[in-house]
Amino acid sequence: MPPPFHVYTSDFHNPGTVSIFTTPLSASSIPSGSFAGNNSPADMTLDAAHRLFVANFGSSTVTVFAPPISSGATPSFTLTTTMQAEDPALDGSGNLYVAGSVGAINVFNAPVTSSSTVSFSITSGFTDTRGLAFDASGNLWINAVSGVNPIIAKYTPPFGAASTPALSFTSSGNIHGIAFDGAGNIYAAGSSGVDVYTPPFSAATTKSFTITANSPNYLKFDSSGNLYVTDSAGHLLVFTPPFSGSSTPAITVSLPGSPGLPGVAIGP
C-alpha cells in the first residue's frame, strides 16, 4: 500500500473515538478526522473491500464502517458478540473472528452482513484471549492465557466449535496484540515490549528478542514492513525494519484522548 494511506487508532475510554491519521506520519501528526466509537472501541481491522471492523469492548459489539471512511462516519451495521469484544481478524475467505475478555473466540461466517450472527465459538485451549491473527497458511494464532499461564497457541483449519490447539508455547504475558511479518515471524505484546518469535514453531519455542515498548496493546504491519504499536500511555510507535532487541521507534505519535487499550488498523 503506497503512501499516502491512513492509520486508524482508537481511544478506548467510554464512549471512545476512532481517529484517522493520514501518512506520512511524524512526531507532530494530528488526526485528519475522527468518528464516534460504540462504547470503548479497542482493536480494528479492514477486509478486502476496505470495510473497517471495530471491536467495542463496552457494548460487546463489532461495528462495521463502509468506505470511504471519513470524519463523522457512522456504522453501516453492528454485529453482536457474546463477550466484551477486543480484537477482530479476518481469514482469507472473509470469515470474521473476534477475541474478547472471556474464554471464547466468536466466528461469523462469510459473507459478513447486517444479518450475521455468531456461527460458532472456539473455546478450547485457553481461558482468556484478547489477541488473534492468521499466518500465511491460514492458521489461527492467539495470544492468550491457559489457566494462569500466558501462551501463544496455533489452530489449524478447518475451524469449528470443536477446534483445539495444534500446538502452544509459553509466552511472557500481556495477552493483547499478535501479528506476522512477511517472513512468518510472530510479533506479540509481551510483558516488557513486543516479543518476536522465529519459525519453526514448537512447544519448546522461546522468544528470539524483545522490541522495547511500554505496555504495548495492539500492533499491525504496513505493506513496507513497518511495525505500528499502540501503548497504554497513549502513543503510536512506528518501528522500521530490520528489527532487533535494540530497535527504537522511528516515529512516536501522541494519540488523542486518554490512555487505555488503543487499537490500530492500516488501510486506504
117 within a domain of the structure (yes/no): yes
Residue appearing with cell numbers 530497535: 247
pLDDT per position as a tens digit, 130-169: 999 999 999 999 999 999 999 999 999 999 999 999 999 9
User: How many Å apart are CA 24 and CA 50, to the nearest integer?
Assistant: 20
pLDDT of residue 14: 62
Please state the domain count of the chain.
1
Alpha carbon 22 to chain centroid, angstroms:
20
Strand-pair partners of 231: 216
60 touches 80 (CB < 8 A): yes
Identify the pLDDT of residue 2: 63
Residue 169 lies in a domain: yes
Residue 264 has pLDDT above 80, yes or no: yes
Q: Is residue 171 part of a domain?
A: yes
Contact 263, 55 (CB under 8 A): yes
Question: If pLDDT is split at 50, 70 and 90, which confidence band does 226 have?
Answer: very high
Looking at the chain, the whole-number percentage of residues with pLDDT higher than 90 is 91
User: So what's the pLDDT on residue 12?
Assistant: 82
For the chain, give percent helix, strand, coil, nearest 5: 0, 45, 55
| Host domain of residue 72 | 6-267
Provide mean pLDDT across the span 100-115: 94
Closest CA to 184 of 228, 244, 141, 129: 141
CATH number assigned to the domain comprising residue 97:
2.120.10.30
Average pLDDT over residues 247-261: 90
**All cell numbers assigned to 169:** 508455547
Note whether residue 1 is domain-resident.
Answer: no
Ramachandran class of 225: left when φ > 0, alpha when ψ lies in -120 to 50, beta otherwise: left
pLDDT digits (tens, 9 = 90+) for 41-83: 999 999 999 999 999 999 999 999 999 999 999 999 999 999 9
Which whole number is the average pLDDT over 236-262? 94
Contact (CB, 8 A) for 179 and 225: no
pLDDT at 261: 82
